[in-house]
Amino acid sequence: MALQVHADIRSLSPYVPGKPIDELQRELGLTRVIKLASNENPLGPSPKALAALSGAQAMLHRYPDGGAYQLRQALADRWKVTSEQIILGNGSDELLGLLARTFLTPGDEAIMADHTFVIYKMEVTAVHGKPVVVPLVNWTHDLESMARAITPRTRLLFLCNPNNPTGTIVSAEAVNRLMANVPEDVLVVFDEAYFEYVRHPQFPDAMAYVMQGRNAIVLRTFSKIYGLAGLRIGYGVSTPEIIDFLNRVRPPFNANSLAQKAALAALGDDAHVAKSRAVNEAGMAQVGEGLRALGITPIPSEANFLYFDAKQDGRRVFDALLREGIIVRHIEGTMIRVTIGQPDENTAFLQAFKNIVNGAR
């Protein structure tokens, strides 16, 4: 008998990750590959995290601390909440899945932007929820239209801020107006994976809504500025009630022991975070100027990547850059997303892209 697979699952396609470095090396026989595809920290992990890992290996035969006592306490101290308000995930990706499983029943609606992190749609669809997709305006979340899209079936509203892949933010004022219109039975998910890179003075304080006891959750990750994407660890901050519900669905050992140790050390390494921010800010200026010199204006970004219209087939640009050993992300049509790298990596990207632009003329 044939497998019975629900149409919702059939409608999904597997997530396409940024191309791994060794895959490209194997395929093209390249020695130097520059990966600017997945918004990872080009400086690597915090040295303190690496040191913490080398002490943790001897305990690998034991299960991790399922309650992640130390890391949750450290995060609670950092954000001035209690540890009952913190949940860890196998990356914040896993928390998105837990949110869908905990709060959606088949047919429930989840509001999201049309051009945002693709995992929201995947997780909502996988539990037979209904993604309600609201177009961006000027590459930015249109919170007024998102508020208008709320119906009695709405359970979740995803706000990716800064937004991936555009890099844009919504202001504190816009979020305030949204929160004034969101009913009590809708949970607002603030996905702030790039929070530590933001410099804009009008960036909202999403944590304040949690403090007020609103139905909100703030998701952060150790995969981006903390440089620990390979270990898979992220966290959510919310009300004790919401965290309690999520914990009922959470696999007990979802945050592994090495990740817990490394994240705790990375959280205390302010110097590495400050350096990473500074390198990113300089790189943003470098790549931004380089693109503008080619007549291309990137969308204003508060994250660690730039999104731009390459003005030619993006797939061709992606492939041509690959042949030069540079991995970027082709999102759709003529749009490309490039992660900010170290100065020499940015230079290599700009040079290769310039050759492509000139070759196409």
Closer CB to ligand PLP, 189 or 321, in the complex: 189
> Exposure string (b/e) for 255-275, b if CB count within 10 Å is 16 or more?
bbbbbbbbbbbbbbbeebbee
Which of the ranges 221-229, 266-274, 283-291, 342-350 carries the binding residues for ligand PLP, by CB under 6 A?
Answer: 221-229
Residues 234, 236, 290, 298: which binds ligand PLP (CB under 6 A)? 234
| Pattern 257-296, ligand PLP, x by CB under 6 A | ----------------------------------------
What residues numbered 35-74 form the site for ligand PLP, per CB under 6 A?
Answer: 39
Which of the ranges 223-231, 266-274, 336-344, 345-353 carries the binding residues for ligand PLP, by CB under 6 A?
Answer: 223-231
Residues 191, 196, 269, 324: which binds ligand PLP (CB under 6 A)? 191
Contacts of 48 (CB under 8 A, 6+ apart): 265, 266, 268, 269, 272
Do you know the residue count of the chain?
Answer: 361
The residues facing 307 across adjacent strands are: 337
Question: Are the C-beta atoms of residues 265 and 210 closer than 8 Å to each other?
Answer: no
Q: Write phi, then psi, for 30 (nearest 5 degrees).
A: -85, 150
Which residue in the block uniquely carries the two structure tokens 């035969």?
A: 61
Closer CB to ligand PLP, 102 or 325, in the complex: 102
The nearest distance, CB 95 to ligand PLP, in angstroms, is: 8
325: helix, coil or strand? coil
| Pattern 163-182, ligand PLP, x by CB under 6 A | -x------------------
The nearest distance, CB 3 to ligand PLP, in angstroms, is: 29
| Pattern 127-166, ligand PLP, x by CB under 6 A | ---------------------------------x---x--
Residues 223, 276, 339, 346: which binds ligand PLP (CB under 6 A)? 223
Q: Does 98 bind ligand PLP (CB under 6 A)?
A: no
Closer CB to ligand PLP, 215 or 223, in the complex: 223
Q: Write phi, then psi, for 148 (nearest 5 degrees).
A: -70, -20
Q: Which of 181, 176, 171, 113 is nearest to 142 (CA)?
A: 113
Question: Are the C-beta atoms of residues 49 and 349 closer than 8 Å to each other?
Answer: no
Contacts of 24 (CB under 8 A, 6+ apart): 30, 33, 322, 325, 327
Q: Which residues bind ligand PLP (CB under 6 A)?
A: 39, 91-93, 117, 160, 164, 191, 193, 221, 223-224, 229, 234
